[in-house]
Structure 1
Amino acid sequence: MSYLNQVGSTTPLSVGVYMPPDIPQSFRVYSENVLAQLSPFGIKPLPFDSVGTLPRNADVLWDIRSGGGNPPPDFLVGMDTPPLVVTIHGLAPISLKGWEYFTGLKDKLLAKHYARGKQRKWVHIRHRIHSVIAVSNFTKNEAIAFTGISADRFVVCHHGVDSKIFRPTSGAKTESYFFHVSNDEPRKNIHRIVNVFIRLRRKYPVELVLKLPREALSKYQGIEGVRVITGYLNSEELAELYRNALAFVFPSLYEGFGMPILEAMSCGCPVITSNVSACPEVADQAALIVDPRSEEELETAMAAFCNEENLYTRLASAGLQRSKHFSWVSSATCHARVFFLAAQSLR
């Protein structure tokens, strides 16, 4: 059976893909991987970055970048525009306390005000959105409550992972370091990771490798045993850091999906992650799950990798098996169904 038959259509489809230049890197990775798998469905992407380049002849419009509770821009929800599909990646600044998401004092104090403004906009435009793609069941449930959009217009399309790049090592692991990669936002919980590591370092000869933005270097530089990588890494280089790590430490306070969890597992790297947001949905039973606000729980989990010889092997195997439940082909199939249904709404 062809991909087109699987999604219930044989009619070629043009999808206008809204991709402004300032989208976060994780959104770009997501969209590029989905788009790379859409051609077998007869879908032609038409990327655009502003109202001036909006392809009004497209069958469907797709806003890939609704993160942080941000609604689509006004020009995507006009009365004369094609049906709109929106991907919601998460609502971190809505769900977290201001100080757990923002860094500036003004933003921390105005967090609830920002949230109310976004919610009013969603409620105002909700009837002009055909479908919402949520990247996890967790995000779906949060977004239904926040946006006022009915549940029957939501579809969960999990992310995938490129197993050709994010693959296990063929040789023996030779290094003993804990690894973390993120954008250094407060919700990523790096201060707790470092606090725990400093205590752990007094007992065990381990290191902590942090892949962070360049501006984060001064925060952690000079701490014994901590190595901060700030330069650009391609996917192969990132995968190598996962593969050689003792464990990937990701006790995030909030993730709409948590793609690094999946990348680490696909590399055969054991994972320590949170019991909140979408983290347990992605990790399932294949990781050590901790309360991200408890340094005691995090320390116990990290110390376990220094004390229990079989823990690495057991969780590396479990994580690898878990990662096989996710693929970009499956994700693209899910997206294609949504696009075709949106296009059919005008026929």
Structure 2
Amino acid sequence: MIKIAYDITVLGQGYINAKAKTGVYRVVDSLLKQLLDRKDIEIDLVAYNSLNNIWDSVSTELFISNEAARIRKQYQSCHQSKLNLLNLYKVAVKSQKQFIKLSSQYLPVIYKPALALQIPFKLLGKFDIDFHFNSQANIYHSLFYALPSKDEINRISRILTIYDLIPVLDSKSFTTSICQKYDKMLQSIDTNQDWITCISQHTKNDFCNHTGMNPERVFVTPLAADTHFFPVENLDIIDNTLKKYQINNAPYLLSLCTLEPRKNLSFLIRCFTKIILDNPRIDLNLVLVGVSGWKNNDILKTAQENPILKNRIIFTGYIPDEDLSAIYSGATAFIYPSLYEGFGLPPLEAMQCGTPVITSNTSSFPEVVGDAGIMINPTDEDALCQAILTIIQDSQLRKTLSEKGRERAQQFSWAKCAEETVKVYQIAANCR
């Protein structure tokens, strides 16, 4: 039977810092749940990637111990402290988790110092920690980070999941650090021997064009919205959830994403402003859900430019999954004008909740949304304004898009994603 070393470093990071529970976290978590239920493969869980820092390893162990006891026996620890300092590292990681939680609730000013807490321990770990790949797996699957060298993992087959090529195609929208990590990830690939899974055909096309890798070694494994996203019809549940995040009871447009340039939120805010100025009697708010990313000053500046927008644009920050179905379901429409997406999970989640969707017509959106939403050029303000006004004013269109969206979302599932992923495992194992 094929045994997979499945890297869950991302889950450990999300355990320590809720802000790390972004799209990649969803993928690693949702795919893992499906793979663990299968009888045709075995899974070893590891936190062994090219970074090999003690902070991520300990974070992952704490995640396994505290939130994932059912999979504890599958976890293979990959580190050993020469100075017997593991308890010290655990205390430090737990302290950071508490500081981050405190910063999100009361003291935002301590967030960055809390993140910096790991720096001295990472440096100490370079001298103190030995990393050993203890798994007897046939295949190593990295879901995000650069692949470890072949010698480090006993020269077994390697698979890397690629989400998009955005830091390569649009480096100006990212920090230098992110671009460097992405370059390292691409450089870790042996295009002649490794295997790649991409989350959309569009991502596969971009990846093959950029790297020149043989398309026969690159596979598409489409994502899905989790089953806990569903239409919420109980208005009391929706109202209580909105109150929880200080969202008033006016009709609202919704967008959910990390606040960063690529998501094109400044464009959305300008369009929303134009609609409000041209239609002063419209009772409508804009709710933006998501953590702050990088280079987002323009987004905040645009939201503050016009006093008429005061209290009409609501930044909620991170919202946990258990509250998102109500937030999606309460929205008049979900707007996602991103300039580029490798897949685009939020529109699919919104459609599964029965919320009418407006997205860009670029990159992977046609694959995901199809004819179940309104697609616009993400640089055409008039087009987005008209699409929003049409949805607001046409109740029959909202009903039609809601029905089409739910039907479309049913075409995607994590079981299908797992099935396609296992096919790649089998091909990689048979080609050894």
TM-score, normalised to structure 1, is: 0.83
Q: Does 1:191 align with 2:266?
A: yes
Shift of 1:74: 4.3
The amino acid that maps onto 2:9 is P
Shift of 1:266: 0.2
Q: Does 1:207 align with 2:271?
A: no
Check whether the contact 1:265–1:322 (CA below 8 A) recurs between aligned residues.
yes
Q: Does 1:18 align with 2:24?
A: no
2:335 and 2:6 map into 1 onto residues whose CA distance is 34
1:126 and 1:274 map into 2 onto residues whose CA distance is 32
SS at match of 2:351: helix
Q: Does 1:41 align with 2:38?
A: yes
SS at match of 2:190: helix
In 2 relative to 1, CA 55–340 (structure 1 residues): closer, same or farther, beyond 3 Å? Answer: farther
1:189 and 1:138 map into 2 onto residues whose CA distance is 19
The amino acid that maps onto 2:169 is S
Once the two structures are superposed, residues 226-263 of structure 1 have per-residue CA deviations (whole angstroms, 9 ceiling, x without a partner) of 11101x42212112111110010001001000000110
SS at match of 1:57: coil
Correspondences of 1:1-347 after superposition (within 5 Å): 11=1, 13-21=2-10, 25-42=22-39, 43-50=41-48, 52-65=131-144, 72-75=146-149, 80-96=154-170, 98-99=171-172, 101-102=173-174, 107=176, 121=187, 125-129=190-194, 131-163=195-227, 165-171=228-234, 176-202=251-277, 203=279, 204-213=282-291, 219=301, 220=303, 223-224=309-310, 225-230=312-317, 232-346=318-432
The amino acid that maps onto 1:125 is D
1:116 and 1:27 map into 2 onto residues whose CA distance is 14
1:276 and 1:322 map into 2 onto residues whose CA distance is 18
Shift of 1:209: 0.4
The amino acid that maps onto 1:138 is H
2:151 and 2:325 map into 1 onto residues whose CA distance is 39
Query: Which 10-residue stretch deviates more, 168-177 or 23-32?
Result: 168-177
Structure 1, unpaired ranges of 5+:
1-10, 67-71
In 2 relative to 1, CA 151–195 (structure 1 residues): closer, same or farther, beyond 3 Å? Answer: same
Once the two structures are superposed, residues 4-35 of structure 1 have per-residue CA deviations (whole angstroms, 9 ceiling, x without a partner) of xxxxxxx3x32112233558531121011111
Shift of 1:214: 5.0
Aligned length: 318
2:324 and 2:234 map into 1 onto residues whose CA distance is 17
Check whether the contact 2:147–2:160 (CA below 8 A) recurs between aligned residues.
no
In 2 relative to 1, CA 317–283 (structure 1 residues): closer, same or farther, beyond 3 Å? Answer: same
1:252 and 1:74 map into 2 onto residues whose CA distance is 32
In 2 relative to 1, CA 278–184 (structure 1 residues): closer, same or farther, beyond 3 Å? Answer: same
2:132 and 2:328 map into 1 onto residues whose CA distance is 39
1:119 and 1:265 map into 2 onto residues whose CA distance is 32
Indicate the residue corresponding to 1:69 in structure 2: none
Once the two structures are superposed, residues 122-163 of structure 1 have per-residue CA deviations (whole angstroms, 9 ceiling, x without a partner) of 6x721230x211100101111111122101111111001223
Structure 2, unpaired ranges of 5+:
15-19, 53-130, 239-248
Check whether the contact 2:44–2:135 (CA below 8 A) recurs between aligned residues.
no
Once the two structures are superposed, residues 99-141 of structure 1 have per-residue CA deviations (whole angstroms, 9 ceiling, x without a partner) of 4x22x5xx49x97xx699669826x721230x21110010111
Query: Which 10-residue stretch deviates more, 40-49 or 256-265?
Result: 40-49
Structure 1 outlier segments of 4+, above 6 Å:
none
Alignment RMSD (CA, Å): 2.8
2:182 and 2:29 map into 1 onto residues whose CA distance is 32
Considering only CA atoms, is the larger Rg found in Structure 1 or Structure 2?
2
